[in-house]
Amino acid sequence: MTDFLTHCRSVVGDAFVLDAPADMAPFLTDWRGRFTGKALAVLRPATVEQVAALVRACAQWRVPLVPQGGNTGLVLGSVPDAGGGAVVLSLARLNAIRQVDPINRTMTVDAGCILQQVQEAAAAEGCLFPLSLAAEGSCTIGGNLSTNAGGTAVLRYGNTRELCLGLEVVTPQGEIWSGLRGLRKDNTGYDLRDLFIGAEGTLGIITGAVLKLYPQPKASITALAALPSPTHALQLLNLMQDHCGSSLTGFELMSQYCLNLVAQQFPSLPKPFAAQHPQYVLMELSSSESEQHAVGLLENAIGAALDRDIVSDAVVAASVAQSAGLWQLREHIPLAQAKAGKNIKHDISLPVSRIADFIAATGPLLEAAFPGCQLVCFGHLGDGNLHYNVAPPDGISNEDFLRNQDKVNRVVHDSVVGFGGSISAEHGIGALKRDELAHYKSPVELNMMRAIKAALDPLGIMNPGKVL
């Protein structure tokens, strides 16, 4: 391996091949701090050509490699395993905005650009790059693409997959595929772009991308509605979409338990309603016309929902600050959970029409198996995506309860699959859910995935142990 590392140093320079334990440490532990892997070295190329040269070296010396962006993933997809034979290949130094084309409404970026940097570069040209998620200050667009990240704007703009027109990829053979097309329509052969998106670095390394931009909305307005049940939330979603079409840009469900948790842990945050209600929906409306238009549209729709008893109560934010306050309630749910102690998390999706039935059916199953357990259920209802987290009963420690993780997963995931849902909505598979994937996917589907993996990466050096 000395020869291999010497060769890597000749490619990127001594300073960018890290092998001292202290230097490597930040690259080896996952975002949630649950696992620390080992690596031969951390490689930090600065150009696509350097990435390609390093991959050729990995192929020649049969060294497995783990591509890494901002290392904010939630499924152990971007850290190496405990074996110590792999290298981490960090894309962080490929961080240039290559081009913004406001007429084509596209931008071409390096994979290592931070998401927030991409958002800001779009805004500087009067455009919107709509991908938005909690880690946006540190995650990279390459990681967003490799995990097909979701976030809070999927209802209107789609997942990261829908926001990408073209890719540049270094193949497992160390060749560069220049697929940086800025085209809305292109039917010339197989859709390689979408194969690399969401493949979590197991088929190749995304080094650049052409992203879709949108006109900046003229105004956004937020409201919080209180409702008797998840069924009412579904009725509200349909009513809002009928009234507002694609102006409805956010629709987030939160249970009373979630907001109580936030109120306990962050007492200074707003408390919009005096009374308690079983469920709440945070809605965001964006208008390409004016604030007046957005407010009128939102108030009309909420009025119709109140008339039909779909909604029990509602507040419409009267200012940007009030809007931000309502969003803070939503964004503080995971933080409040973290302060309250560890719990068992699920990132699931369902057909939107089955969500109320899923919630009604799964709670009793968990209660029967784990009496007194607490459900922290919230998420992007408009996309069918729930963060369905299970916290310990009163009097049981988090550590004791976490020993039930596999059993809790089985109850929740069996129910999800029974309702036609997915065990990973927006976080991916990584190493964490690899066994769950194998458990739930059909042999036909697994065999096709394995055939593609073997065809594109016959040496098996690309992020081994992840996904498949």
Binding residues for a copy of itself restricted to 95-114, rule: CB under 8 A = 101-106
- Interaction residues for a copy of itself, span 161-190 (CB under 8 A): 161-162, 171, 175-179, 181-190
Among 148, 322, 362, 415, binds a copy of itself (CB under 8 A): 148
- Interaction residues for a copy of itself, span 384-443 (CB under 8 A): 384-385, 420-429, 433, 437, 440-442
Shortest Cβ 269–a copy of itself spacing (Å): 27
Shortest Cβ 425–a copy of itself spacing (Å): 4
Shortest Cβ 360–a copy of itself spacing (Å): 15
Question: Please, which residue, 25 or 361, has the CB nearer to a copy of itself?
Answer: 361
Among 147, 220, 362, 463, binds a copy of itself (CB under 8 A): 147
Shortest Cβ 436–a copy of itself spacing (Å): 9
Q: Is 305 in the site for a copy of itself (CB under 8 A)?
A: no
Shortest Cβ 387–a copy of itself spacing (Å): 12
Shortest Cβ 167–a copy of itself spacing (Å): 11
Residues 421/349, Cβ–Cβ less than 8 Å: yes
> By three-state DSSP, how is residue 378 classified?
strand
As given in the structure block, the two tokens for residue 332 are 């503080």
Q: Which residues neighbour 461 within 8 Å (Cβ) at sequence distance 6 or greater?
A: 58, 59, 62, 63, 64, 65, 172
- Interaction residues for a copy of itself, span 329-348 (CB under 8 A): none
As given in the structure block, the two tokens for residue 315 are 């507040």
Question: Please, which residue, 5 or 170, has the CB nearer to a copy of itself?
Answer: 170
Residues 304/243, Cβ–Cβ less than 8 Å: yes
Q: Which residues neighbour 363 within 8 Å (Cβ) at sequence distance 6 or greater?
A: 375
Question: Please, which residue, 227 or 244, has the CB nearer to a copy of itself?
Answer: 244
- The residues that bridge with 285 in the sheet, in sequence order, are 221, 248
- Interaction residues for a copy of itself, span 194-253 (CB under 8 A): 194-195, 197-199, 203, 215, 217, 234, 238, 241-247
Question: Please, which residue, 85 or 158, has the CB nearer to a copy of itself?
Answer: 158
Instruction: Tell me the C-alpha to C-alpha distance, in Å, between residue 388 and each of 31, 230, 250, 408, 422.
Output: 20, 14, 19, 11, 12
Shortest Cβ 51–a copy of itself spacing (Å): 14
Helices (H), 275-369: 291-307, 320-340, 355-369
C-alpha 352/C-alpha 214 separation (Å) is 26
Q: Which residues neighbour 107 within 8 Å (Cβ) at sequence distance 6 or greater?
A: 97, 98, 99, 100, 101, 118, 121, 122, 127, 129, 210, 211, 213
Task: Match 């696509």 to its residue by tokens.
Answer: 48
Task: Match 């993933």 to its residue by tokens.
Answer: 73
| DSSP run (H or E) holding 212 | strand 205-212
Question: Please, which residue, 176 or 396, has the CB nearer to a copy of itself?
Answer: 176
Size of the site for a copy of itself (CB under 8 A): 91
Amino acid letter, 91: L
Query: Which of the 8 DSSP states describes residue 462?
Result: B
Among 256, 353, 397, 398, binds a copy of itself (CB under 8 A): 353
Stretch that binds a copy of itself, among 10-18, 133-141, 337-345, 349-357 (CB under 8 A): 349-357
- Interaction residues for a copy of itself, span 439-468 (CB under 8 A): 440-442, 444-445, 448-449, 451-456, 467-468
Amino acid letter, 153: A
As given in the structure block, the two tokens for residue 418 are 């029974």
Question: Please, which residue, 5 or 285, has the CB nearer to a copy of itself?
Answer: 285
Question: Please, which residue, 259 or 355, has the CB nearer to a copy of itself?
Answer: 355
